[in-house]
Structure 1
Amino acid sequence: MIQPTASQLAIRNSTARDLLVIAPAGCGKTEALALRIQGLLQRGDIVAPQKILVTTFSNRARDNIRERLQDYLPSGTLRDRVTITNFHGLAARLFKAHANVIGLDPAMTIPDGDWVGAQCRAKGFDFSTSAAVQTTLRIAKQEPRTDDEILTYLSAPGREAALTIERQRVSEGRLTYDDLPRLAELILANDLVADLYQAHFGSVIVDEFQDLTPQQLRIVNRIGYKNTTYAGDLAQGIYGFAGAKPVAIDAAVRAECTEVIEFSESHRSSPAVLAMVNAMSPLTAGTPLTAADPASWPGGGLAASVGHHTADAEGDWVTRVAQALVSRVPQQRIGVIARTLGRRRFVESALKAAKVPFFRWDDGVLDTETARTLKSLLARFDVRGYEAAADKMAFLRDAAGFESVSEPSGRESLLDALHWCHDLLRSGVAAGDIRSRIQIGDAATLITAPGVHLLTGHVGKGQQFDWVVIVGLEDGVIPDFRATSSDEKIEEARVLSVMLSRARHGVIVSRAVSVPTNAGRPMDRKPSSFLTSLATANPRKAEELVEWFNSADWAAIAVR
């Protein structure tokens, strides 16, 4: 178990029921929240049968905090006294239990993917129309409107396409991701329901509070106003596209909380990595960080910036770096991160060509709970039943108990994993061989597995890797070409800062002069404007990397 810091102990021991924790990346936030939960329970602040509600924004973050809590709480206490869920899972729980309060059927279909996007494609909408439909529906549903009020809102001129999609949703009796928090807020407007949840959850913990939408904050307040611990950092607010309002949420939370505890020391990253993160602070408004124990990092760690003629050359170079790291430090984790999936594809192709194993974080089968479900299914797989089934996907869904899964992101991950399984079975791979390919779900989780990991900046938030390579530092990629306003460009700077701060020992940022379009046409790219800021951290150049990896500093890291 890690020895807690003074700040972490202060969070554990605080008797304030409304606490704000300002925790920049790598400062030990997850550890602090685990200690906070332990303190609330051990002091008797939360008395059985009351529970603590912990809200996260992803299954990965959920796994992260659950793993830390296993070090501080007996398994029975963790199971019986703590509920860990993401916001859509909480909203789905509210809907399933109390839909009748707002006159809806709790048996309505819970989302398991981007249904709105699928309908837009089915109707032949072009990109701009589809994007407008998605945005219009999201905005409409971030207020506590009933279904009838949504239809009235969408009846205004210019919203015809969105109205068509919404009418179809209602007629099919299904919900989308945007519907869940809307309906949860409507349900919690009922005082009897709100009182029930306030009595059930004696305290609420919100991880990454800066990513809350105003709607999500209203939901939290109905369950735990003045009884909530918020943890996060304004400089890591990267979900404005989904309706998050970091500045407004920060102000509201500060007005609610009577005690604030701030971190400024990083227990994750080397001084070299922190220099890169701090170089972005003028753009992100982040707190400048120092290493808690700078002498523990041989040579101060590594920060480097490299350029390539083409994206394919970049992919080959990153693959060679990954191979070198895996061969020298096989128990360490290497994160290859890009702003978008499309920009990452060149590294993925190069890794496949070199037969380098890797974890792709957007694979549903890498979700811990999904992997366990799929392993169980394959261990008792009914081959004859599958072969005789007219609808083999329906057979797999039934065998996996798909309809019993109510948490939306869990449904999406499981459905994705079942399609993967179906494709392999159809190509003749035996069930046992498919099971052996699943390396997650028993003692190992994606957040602890060594090796090469491919992900995007948003997906990797809250995680850490020993080494990080960020590809695609080009104008139009990061900052994204759609970021035109000042606020949008600031958020892009925060996305890059989040990617940089995933690294422990070292971080390398990479760019290419020529990057093919999706159609394969070469396109010249200018360097990202953010490279000017990063240059103030004096990152090493490509030719210096070989020297560094041959140095005594690298040798010291390799044996840590």
Structure 2
Amino acid sequence: MTELVADERQMEAVESLDDQVLVIAPPGCGKTELLAMRAEFLVREGRILPGRRLLAITYSKRARDNMRQRIQERLGPELTSRFVTVLNFHGLAGRIVRAHATTLDIPKDFVMPTKRWFGDAVSQIGAGWESRKAAESRLLEVKSSPISDVEIDAQLRSSGDELALAVEQVRRSANRLDYQDLIRHAQRLLHVPGVARLYQSHFDAVLVDEFQDLSLQQFDIVTRACTRRGTYVGDPLQGIYSWAGAQPDAVIAALRDRCTTRVDLNVSYRSSPEVLAIVNAVGVPIGATELHAADPSAWGSGQRTRAYVFDSEEDEASKIAELAVGIARKRPQAAVAVIARSGWRRGPLDRELSAVDDVPLQFWDMALDHPGLLTALRTAATGIAATLPLEDQLRMLNERCLHGLAGDDDVDTANILGDAIDLLRQRASEGEGVRAVLARTKAVDVTDVAPPGVHVLNAHLGKGQQFDWVFVIGLEEGHVPDYRSLEDPEEARALMVMLSRAKRGLVVSRSRTVKTKYGTTKSAPRSRWWDQLAAAA
């Protein structure tokens, strides 16, 4: 990766005297560093008044930690502590709701949301898959505006969705909020003039990372919490979370109206020219800015991109595992990623890599690898007897961790805990206690730069990350693009996100055949983007 020396366009955004600034930042263009420089400029130039703060908002916990680290490196711990608050979005919403719950008659001891509760509630009720998905979509729809629980009930009754109504009753009886409730109530609270004034008098500026991942509801929260100055950085063509409620087109339209300065970045500090040729092969046809390497000569010479075609998924898995592990062995400081669009396509590869024990290996869908959580679990496990039944050990561990998190507005941590308990259940051998399982589980600390070794992940988990070498597998129709979204423009964006994680080298691959869920083999047409990728490689 080329060292970031801010170019003219970046400095235009960093030192802008306008109150509302929009920055379009394609992958690898130094987005996070630009935001850190903007924070430093605002603080050192006296734009954040004494007693007030700059609010930096990210979409995920990992991005939040990275942002905090970057800002602290520029401002130092003392100024950062005095002037800057860095939160991920659910952390901000949770903080608002915790502080002002009684304003809306919400019990202050409400239970924070987790991913699991909806599925558990539906299972309790005994609903089928199709009705479950319909109810989930209905609840997301009705909760996407600042309305009360009474109004929610009225809309659900009017729609005739009895399952959604029943789930709501289960949620309230358990004194629980789901993710959308947290956002909805935070928005409702910021529509109360007295509450909004508290935040507006507290925050002199807001920095928003990855604006394309926001919904209009979340955008409303940000702009009500801070009205003075806003810097919004992101890329509409990296908007791949519409399934989670993101509205990139609507948010960018609102930002065009709001912002008086717009800066478009086009210099990549992350990737080699060869990698960028492949990224541009997908990005430019869908409207992305053509990216150029900041210093092409810094990358040296040699072949760093390839396109492979295999007869079967097993052949692909064997060769890609050999190449990825080979790089990790030859270059112990290199971070190597193998990325699939979806987890189901990774089966043969995961099995091939599971036997590797001489290089660091991380599967990113394992919650126990999440930074900080393993330490909390080990502390909570102290004194839990291995002679107890495993389920009793897991229950005690879960309760202790939840107690330790009480009052914490970090929703992501509470959510990941449920996944971690499930993984401990799967990993435990017969007669093994939770302390022994935790003792043989390694911690991995990942910010924006992955540690050395081989990393295996899906497209959406890789967003915001970077690796020395990247292998993107499964470039067949039905996987890239996904069979459920063949004409969805987000599929091209998801591919661009996967490709643009690479710094030095990039390999793409496909198989001529794939296995069906019944175990039979069928022909797999090449992805619609394969020809242009292969030509660029």
Q: Decide: shared fold, TM above 0.5.
A: yes
**Aligned residue number for residue 260 of structure 1:** 262
**Aligned residue number for residue 358 of structure 1:** 361
Alignment of 1:71 with 2:73, yes or no, is yes
Does the 8 Å CA contact 2:448/2:465 hold for their aligned counterparts? no
- CA separation of 1:377/1:425 partners in 2, compared to 1, >3 Å: closer, same or farther? farther
**Aligned residue number for residue 508 of structure 1:** 507
SS at match of 1:155: helix
Matching of residues 36-185 of structure 1 within 5 Å: 36-185=38-187
Matches of 1:124 and 1:208, distance apart in 2: 38
Does the 8 Å CA contact 2:339/2:470 hold for their aligned counterparts? yes
RMSD of the TM alignment (CA)? 2.5
* Identity across matched positions, percent: 37
Q: 1:405 aligns with which of 405, 408, 416?
A: 408
**Aligned residue number for residue 341 of structure 2:** 339
SS at match of 1:74: helix
Aligned residue-pair number: 531
Alignment of 1:491 with 2:490, yes or no, is yes
**Aligned residue number for residue 460 of structure 2:** 458
User: If the length of structure 2 is used for normalisation, what is the TM-score?
Assistant: 0.92
**Deviations 1:121-157 (CA, angstroms, capped at 9, x unpaired):** 4444333222212211111111222111111111134
Matches of 1:231 and 1:157, distance apart in 2: 38
Matching of residues 436-447 of structure 1 within 5 Å: 437-441=441-445, 447=449
Matches of 1:81 and 1:371, distance apart in 2: 31
SS at match of 2:372: helix
Structure 2, unpaired ranges of 5+: none
Letter in 1 for 2:279: V
Does the 8 Å CA contact 1:516/1:522 hold for their aligned counterparts? yes
Matching of residues 531-542 of structure 1 within 5 Å: 531-537=530-536, 539=537
Letter in 2 for 1:527: R
Does the 8 Å CA contact 1:55/1:87 hold for their aligned counterparts? yes
- CA separation of 1:194/1:440 partners in 2, compared to 1, >3 Å: closer, same or farther? same
Matches of 2:285 and 2:183, distance apart in 1: 31
Matches of 1:174 and 1:515, distance apart in 2: 43
Matches of 1:504 and 1:282, distance apart in 2: 19
**Aligned residue number for residue 434 of structure 1:** 438
Shift of 1:383: 4.4
**Aligned residue number for residue 391 of structure 1:** 392
- CA separation of 1:338/1:122 partners in 2, compared to 1, >3 Å: closer, same or farther? farther
Shift of 1:372: 3.9
SS at match of 2:450: coil
Shift of 1:320: 0.2
User: If the length of structure 1 is used for normalisation, what is the TM-score?
Assistant: 0.88
Matches of 2:478 and 2:285, distance apart in 1: 18
Shift of 1:196: 0.6
Matching of residues 271-290 of structure 1 within 5 Å: 271-290=273-292
SS at match of 2:275: helix
Matching of residues 299-378 of structure 1 within 5 Å: 299=301, 302-355=304-357, 357-377=360-380
**Aligned residue number for residue 546 of structure 1:** none
Shift of 1:406: 3.1
Matches of 1:426 and 1:255, distance apart in 2: 61
Shift of 1:180: 1.2
Q: Which is further off, 27-36 or 138-147?
A: 138-147
- CA separation of 1:418/1:161 partners in 2, compared to 1, >3 Å: closer, same or farther? closer
Does the 8 Å CA contact 1:264/1:289 hold for their aligned counterparts? yes
- CA separation of 1:521/1:418 partners in 2, compared to 1, >3 Å: closer, same or farther? same
Matches of 2:424 and 2:81, distance apart in 1: 30
**Deviations 1:221-271 (CA, angstroms, capped at 9, x unpaired):** 111235211001111111122222222211111211111222111010111
**Deviations 1:362-392 (CA, angstroms, capped at 9, x unpaired):** 22222223234235446xx224599599932
Matches of 2:89 and 2:301, distance apart in 1: 42
Letter in 2 for 1:360: F
**Aligned residue number for residue 475 of structure 1:** 477
Q: Which is further off, 57-66 or 252-261?
A: 57-66
Shift of 1:425: 8.4
Does the 8 Å CA contact 1:270/1:506 hold for their aligned counterparts? yes
**Deviations 1:58-91 (CA, angstroms, capped at 9, x unpaired):** 1221122223223212223333432222212211
Q: Which is further off, 399-408 or 315-324?
A: 399-408
Does the 8 Å CA contact 1:34/1:72 hold for their aligned counterparts? yes
SS at match of 2:526: coil
**Aligned residue number for residue 543 of structure 1:** none
Matches of 1:173 and 1:497, distance apart in 2: 41
Shift of 1:429: 5.9
Letter in 2 for 1:416: D
Matches of 2:422 and 2:95, distance apart in 1: 26
Q: 1:415 aligns with which of 387, 410, 418?
A: 418
Shift of 1:532: 3.2
Matches of 1:413 and 1:244, distance apart in 2: 21
**Aligned residue number for residue 215 of structure 2:** 213
- CA separation of 1:321/1:376 partners in 2, compared to 1, >3 Å: closer, same or farther? same
- CA separation of 1:341/1:114 partners in 2, compared to 1, >3 Å: closer, same or farther? same
Q: Which is further off, 189-198 or 70-79?
A: 70-79
Does the 8 Å CA contact 1:141/1:179 hold for their aligned counterparts? yes
Does the 8 Å CA contact 2:205/2:228 hold for their aligned counterparts? no
Does the 8 Å CA contact 1:18/1:257 hold for their aligned counterparts? yes
Does the 8 Å CA contact 1:337/1:457 hold for their aligned counterparts? yes
Does the 8 Å CA contact 1:270/1:300 hold for their aligned counterparts? no
Q: Which is further off, 29-38 or 348-357?
A: 348-357
Letter in 1 for 2:366: D
Does the 8 Å CA contact 1:194/1:223 hold for their aligned counterparts? yes
